Amino acid sequence: MTVLPRAVASLAVPGLILCFITLPFPAILSQRPPLPTEPSPTPAPHTRPECTRLEHPVISIQALSPLISSFYHPGVRDYSQLTLDLTRNELIVGARNYLFRLNLNNISLIQYHSILNMPLLLSYCQVHLPLQLECQNYIRVLLVNKTEVITCGTNAFQPLCITREAGNMSRVLERVNGVARCPYDPRHNSTAVVTESGELYAATVIDFSGRDPVIYRSLGGMPPLRTAQYNSKWLNEPHFISAYDVGLFTFFFLRENAVEHDCGKTVYSRVARVCKNDIGGRFLLEDTWTTFTKARLNCSRSGEIPFYYNELQSTFYMPEQDLIYGIFTTNVNSIAASAVCAYNLSAITQAFNGPFRSQENPRSTWLPTPNPIPNFQCGTIEEEGPNEGLTERSLQDAQRLYLMNDVVQPVSVDPLVWQDDVRFSKLVVDIVQGQDTLHHVMYIGTEYGTILKALATTNKSLQGCYLEEMQLFPPGLREPILSLQILHGDRTLFVGLNDKVLKIPLARCSSYKTELMCLDARDPYCGWDRKQRRCTTIEDSSNMSQWFQNITACPLRNQTTDGAYGPWAPWQPCSHDDGEGTSTCLCRSRACDSPPPRCGGKNCEGPTIEVSNCSRNGGWTPWSSWGQCSTSCEIGFEVRQRSCNNPSPRHGGRVCVGQSREQRFCNEKVSCPQPIFWSSWSPWSKCSSECGGGVHSRSRNCENGNSCPGCALEYQACNLESCPEVRRNTPWTPWVPVNITQGGARQEQRVRYICRAQLADPHELQLGKRKVETRFCPNDGTVTCETDSLVEELLKMPGVRLTGSGWSSWEMWSACTQDCAKGYRTRKRTCTSAEGKSVPTACRGSPVEYQDCNPQPCPVNGAWSCWSSWSQCSVPCGGGHYQRTRTCTNPVPADGGDICIGLHTEEALCNTHTCDGGWMAWSLWSECDDSGLQLRSRVCGAQFTPCVGNSSQQRDCNEIPAILPASSYEKDQQCGGFTLLHLIATGLSCFLGAGLLSFLVYVYYQRFHKPSQESAVIHPTTPNHLNYKGNTTPKNEKYTPMEFKTLNKNNLLPDERTNYFPSPLQQTNVYTTTYYPTALSKYDYRPDSSPSPCRTYNHS
């Protein structure tokens, strides 16, 4: 297609002027996209509203690329764990199946180490789990502890923790089980921290299904401890965010379902803490935390009705300032909104020093309870005795007082930053020395792959300012930020993404070329050095007195925009005169509106109209020369040609008239000799083989001589398809006694062979697998065997068994070959001599035994049939509906299969157009009134013109039977009716009858349905996590609270110590469980048999 660009100034469309407004909010400026309004007359450029609106600068990935460094490894994903090793100037990176050591200066690779799963473990995971992507090793714990690096990974749902040498990842120092330190599933969240003494504090889930959350201490010199198991009051479906080692305590930040919230389900953010010197309880809460407490974190916007951000997403701890910053968002099912709040450690300590909130039983409310130890500092019991070394907190208080009543409040009434329609995900904070003060600069990662730079300040004019927004991906591409790590000394930000790691410098002062650009950027890192006449950091300034900043207001983005063309309009027919005549052409145009030039920007450059496909009539070229004769002898012909391309007809032009080819005879008088040629090929012969590949041939003859070029015989492969599989079974051999006892009892076996092969001739089968059947023939005459007559002779025969040889015990049965529809399983034994050597031929009998298993049929899941056709619309006009249905019969669920999920009926609107005359559809006829008429009405659907016709109709209803009202009867007729006396008598009779019936039921129940003493025993059960499918019961009511845990009965790992106390006392298993009283049932105790709702059972 030929395109002719033409610039047509008269067709240029002026760009639309978009006006934007900024919504003011009290106290904090909330960053939002500008809102467009109706176009208005264009004012002077310096007074246009869009040229002065408040908008933070945006730095594209193209502008950042020259400044950032990146690292990636082919095929590696999920760079989610970043840890700094400042001693060795290294960045440790944990990704899927790999560990990396990178240089902090340029993130170049120092060492990488593969942590792929063992092939057997990986194949087992991929067979048994539908999501094979999770069958990898995802690093979820990556901690540097002096000269060691602790890594924990999911390891194909077999968690594993490995301690490695910090300077050499390939050197393994220790391997331990990763359960309770790392989740099974990479989608389950977790956090961990290691103390200076080497203890690892982890918060994760301890089981495969993720229903047993735990805060767990292991390694180091302290005993392993955990939170109470299956107690939703301690941890209720938590999402762990972070953990910090602060003084005497270890703090954990999380969000969970609020157990104290009585109205529906809601999520609260929490801070929990435990004492690092906690060693658990004695007899009560043994191997369980006795210092676990938690408090709610509040992050909300003030107002008459506060707006709460309840879900904590990320935290950052600044130990020098005792500040903890946190990102909070709304629920995932609500409108997206995010905020950043900061908390002093003193405010957190104040909440933990306040009263508790407790609940006496599941049906009572949560009420404040005084704090027995208001300023608890992890004190311990020093006096000698069985409780020596325990914390001074009462074990009875520890099992019921763990939720604080006071809420931890942030440092400011409103969040430092908030934004609607965006979800923040990660956060780090840097401290920068400005001209007059210290600035806290927050770097906030978003879910769509950008990093917001904002100031944390209480200054009203600066609060909530976005200094800039860094875009890490090209336009149109969005990915979440997996990890952020900041290096304060080097002022560097490390970003972990799905496929790479980025290093971004935080101070980029050299990009501001002028004093105005430097000061208007409001960048805390940069100031204008008047002596050097350039924008520098405070460290690079020549003199503090010559270095200036202007951080007094939020930065303004330069709104100058150069114009750019929008897309081309569709092609349209048009006329075009090129000097040789008028042609019919196709034209298209475009406008300078994407975007239009604004605020002094440049106009678009290039054509605004293109012309193409103009029509043209065709013309002939001159005739070519005569070609060569078609034959060398006898009559032939020769050809000459011409073409219609002088010019060619185009786009509807007229084609050339006449012939494009002429021919004439030649060689009429030249005779030809007798030809020598091949005859036609004969048919293909029969294939040499009916299947499996053979050959067949065909032949031809040389006519009029024997000098024909080529072969007279040709071969070709045939019947290449595989031969059908043939199976044959040999007949069973006679029963043969084996393993005969001296009493004549024996086992008998018979054998047959199963052969199969893909052969053209079934007689070529070879013997294959042998199948053996075994039966037992006792000597007591209860079973008749055909070989009874051979037993006596066999007993007299000399044995071939070696002295002392014999069968070993049978091994365990193997797994069934099929889960349903009948499979088989096997077990084995070996024949060994007295010296322990294997002598398979020295024992009689078979070393392998087979058994059928899982005969039950396989479940069939139900599936929907096809939708039926849509039904007729319920009304012809004015808006009705029609529907279609389907059934769960394709197939019908059977043998425990799942039922169909979804709707069996669908409805849709139809005939929504107004009826004739603008009326909507008639309503239904009303009931008959006293005058014997029925009424119906309709509504006029026209908005600006009246409808023609009546809005109501009536009709007689004499033909419809009706019950006349009492007033229509003759007044002298009297009808019997109820009086007040009748009503009183009826009520008394019903009351007496109900009381008598209740008394009889009570007597019957007391006499015949008293529960026995054994029925008072309560048997709590733990559901199978792998097969548990859930129900509609709230999680808070799923478990009976297990208030006391003793003697390692809470799923501690087998590789940990189980008793910390070196006591000479004899250990006795004591199980003590507190149950709240509920309504009487067959599992409840009898009031006359137990004076207390708590009973103790001792087991030796």
Residue 1066 has pLDDT above 80, yes or no: no
Sheet holding 81-85, edge to edge: 81-85, 90-95, 98-103, 109-114
The pLDDT value recorded for residue 537 is 93
The pLDDT value recorded for residue 235 is 94
Task: Find the mean pLDDT for residues 750-770.
Answer: 70
Residue 762 tokens read as 């079934």
Q: Measure the CA–CA gap between 333 and 311, rounded to whole angstroms.
A: 12
Residues 311 and 267 sit within 8 Å (Cβ to Cβ): yes
Residues 342 and 348 sit within 8 Å (Cβ to Cβ): no
Name the CA dihedral angle for 1034, 1035, 1038, 1043, rounded to a multiple of 10 degrees: -130
980 domain residue, yes or no: no
Residue with the bigger pLDDT between 655 and 1086: it is: 655
Enclosing domain of residue 349: 116-440
Confidence of residue 13 (pLDDT cuts 50, 70, 90): very low
Q: What is the pLDDT of residues 136-181, one digit of tens each?
A: 899 999 999 989 999 999 988 889 999 999 989 999 999 999 999 9
How far is CA 985 from its chain centroid?
Answer: 68
554 domain residue, yes or no: yes
Task: Find the mean pLDDT for residues 525-535.
Answer: 92
Task: Find the mean pLDDT for residues 785-811.
Answer: 65
Do 835 and 872 have their domain in common? no
The pLDDT value recorded for residue 561 is 76
839 domain residue, yes or no: yes
Of 407, 440, 473, which one is at a domain's C-terminal end? Answer: 440
Q: Measure the CA–CA gap between 757 and 465, rounded to whole angstroms.
A: 79
**Cα–Cα nearest to 238, from 253, 218, 216, 217:** 253
Confidence of residue 806 (pLDDT cuts 50, 70, 90): confident
Give the whole-number percent of the chain exceeding pLDDT 70.
78
Do 359 and 266 have their domain in common? yes
Do 748 and 648 have their domain in common? no
Do 827 and 872 have their domain in common? no
Residue with the bigger pLDDT between 836 and 350: it is: 350
Do 552 and 635 have their domain in common? no
User: Range with the lowest mean pLDDT among 166-175, 422-431, 652-661, 986-995?
Assistant: 652-661
The DSSP result for 27-60, as a single string, is SS----PPEE--------GGG-HHHH-----EE-
Task: Find the mean pLDDT for residues 477-502.
Answer: 94
Confidence of residue 972 (pLDDT cuts 50, 70, 90): very low
Do 644 and 540 have their domain in common? no
- Computed over every residue of the chain, the mean pLDDT equals 79
**Cα–Cα nearest to 325, from 311, 312, 310:** 312
Do 431 and 530 have their domain in common? no
CATH number for the domain harbouring residue 187 = 2.130.10.10
Give the whole-number percent of the chain exceeding pLDDT 90.
34
Of 525, 558, 591, which one is at a domain's C-terminal end? Answer: 558
Side-chain half-sphere exposure of 1085, counting CA atoms within 13 A? 16
Confidence of residue 1014 (pLDDT cuts 50, 70, 90): very low
Residue 665 has pLDDT above 70, yes or no: yes
Residues 930 and 965 sit within 8 Å (Cβ to Cβ): yes
274 domain residue, yes or no: yes
Q: Measure the CA–CA gap between 468 and 506, rounded to whole angstroms.
A: 11
Sort strands 492-496 and 483-487 into parallel, antiparallel or unpaired: antiparallel
The pLDDT value recorded for residue 290 is 93
Element (H, E) at 730: none
Residue with the bigger pLDDT between 78 and 791: it is: 78
Phi, psi angle pair for 663, to nearest 5° = -140, 155
The DSSP result for 256-296, as a single string, is EE-TT--SS--EEEEEEEEETT----SSSSTTB-SS-EEEE
519 domain residue, yes or no: yes
Q: Measure the CA–CA gap between 136 and 114, rounded to whole angstroms.
A: 12
Of 853, 868, 892, which one is at a domain's C-terminal end? Answer: 853
End-to-end CA distance of the chain: 95
Residue 923 has pLDDT above 50, yes or no: yes
Confidence of residue 131 (pLDDT cuts 50, 70, 90): low
Task: Find the mean pLDDT for residues 873-879.
Answer: 80
Domain tally, the chain? 6
Instruction: Name 840's Cβ contacts closer than 8 Å, sequence gap at least 6.
Output: 830, 831, 847
Residues 950 and 919 sit within 8 Å (Cβ to Cβ): no
Element (H, E) at 126: helix 119-128
Do 344 and 268 have their domain in common? yes
Residue 1028 has pLDDT above 70, yes or no: no
Measured on CA atoms in the order 856, 857, 863, 868, is the torsion positive or negative?
negative
Phi, psi angle pair for 351, to nearest 5° = -65, -40
Do 635 and 607 have their domain in common? no
| CA angle (964, 968, 973) in 5-degree steps | 110
Name the CA dihedral angle for 566, 571, 576, 581, rounded to a multiple of 10 degrees: 150
Q: Measure the CA–CA gap between 117 and 98, rounded to whole angstroms.
A: 11
Burial label, 20 (beta-carbon count in 10 A; 0-12, 13-18, 19+): middle
Task: Find the mean pLDDT for residues 431-445.
Answer: 92
Task: Find the mean pLDDT for residues 805-821.
Answer: 86
Q: What is the pLDDT of residues 374-393, one digit of tens each?
A: 999 898 888 776 777 788 88
Percentages helix, strand, coil for the chain (3-state, rounded to 5) are 10, 30, 60
Do 279 and 369 have their domain in common? yes
Burial label, 799 (beta-carbon count in 10 A; 0-12, 13-18, 19+): exposed
Residue 693 has pLDDT above 90, yes or no: no
User: Range with the lowest mean pLDDT among 214-223, 248-257, 728-737?
Assistant: 728-737
Q: Measure the CA–CA gap between 928 and 960, rounded to whole angstroms.
A: 9
Provide the 10 A C-beta neighbour count for residue 936. Answer: 13
Q: What is the pLDDT of residues 410-426, one digit of tens each?
A: 999 999 999 999 999 99
Residue 965 has pLDDT above 50, yes or no: no
Q: What is the pLDDT of residues 234-276, one digit of tens each?
A: 999 999 999 999 999 999 999 999 998 888 889 999 999 999 9
Residue 961 has pLDDT above 80, yes or no: no
Residues 102 and 88 sit within 8 Å (Cβ to Cβ): no
Token pair 């979800």 is found at 423
264 domain residue, yes or no: yes
The pLDDT value recorded for residue 786 is 66
1005 domain residue, yes or no: no
The pLDDT value recorded for residue 848 is 82
DSSP 577: E
Highest mean pLDDT among 282-291, 549-558, 930-939: 282-291
Task: Find the mean pLDDT for residues 352-381.
Answer: 91
Residue 398 has pLDDT above 50, yes or no: yes
Residue 199 has pLDDT above 90, yes or no: yes
CATH number for the domain harbouring residue 751 = 2.20.100.10
Residues 481 and 497 sit within 8 Å (Cβ to Cβ): yes
For residue 1011, whether the previous peptide bond is cis, meaning omega lies within 30 degrees of 0, is no
Sheet holding 148-153, edge to edge: 139-145, 148-153, 160-165, 168-177
Q: What is the pLDDT of residues 841-854, one digit of tens each?
A: 678 777 888 788 88
User: Range with the lowest mean pLDDT among 425-439, 621-635, 970-984?
Assistant: 970-984
The DSSP result for 339-377, as a single string, is EEEEEEHHHHHHHHHS-EEE-SSTTSPPEEE--SSTT--
Task: Find the mean pLDDT for residues 967-994.
Answer: 68
The pLDDT value recorded for residue 470 is 94
**Cα–Cα nearest to 173, from 184, 181, 161, 165:** 165
Do 149 and 228 have their domain in common? yes
The pLDDT value recorded for residue 1077 is 37
Residues 564 and 594 sit within 8 Å (Cβ to Cβ): yes
The pLDDT value recorded for residue 52 is 61
Rama region for 821: left / alpha / beta (φ>0; ψ in -120 to 50; rest): left
The pLDDT value recorded for residue 1089 is 40
The pLDDT value recorded for residue 172 is 93
Do 160 and 284 have their domain in common? yes
Residue with the bigger pLDDT between 288 and 674: it is: 288
Element (H, E) at 506: none
Q: Measure the CA–CA gap between 734 and 752, rounded to whole angstroms.
A: 10
User: How far, CA to CA in Å, does 110 sit from each of 100, 102, 308, 436?
Assistant: 8, 5, 46, 41
3-state secondary structure string across 386-450 = CCCCCECCCHHHHCCCCEECCCECCCCCCCCEEEECCCEEEEEEEEEECCCCEEEEEEEEECCCE
Residue with the bigger pLDDT between 288 and 1032: it is: 288
Looking at the DSSP assignment, which residues form a beta bridge with residue 750? 773
Residues 844 and 801 sit within 8 Å (Cβ to Cβ): yes
Q: List the helix and strand counts (H, then E) for the chain.
A: 8, 61
996 domain residue, yes or no: no
User: Range with the lowest mean pLDDT among 120-134, 136-150, 459-473, 931-945?
Assistant: 120-134
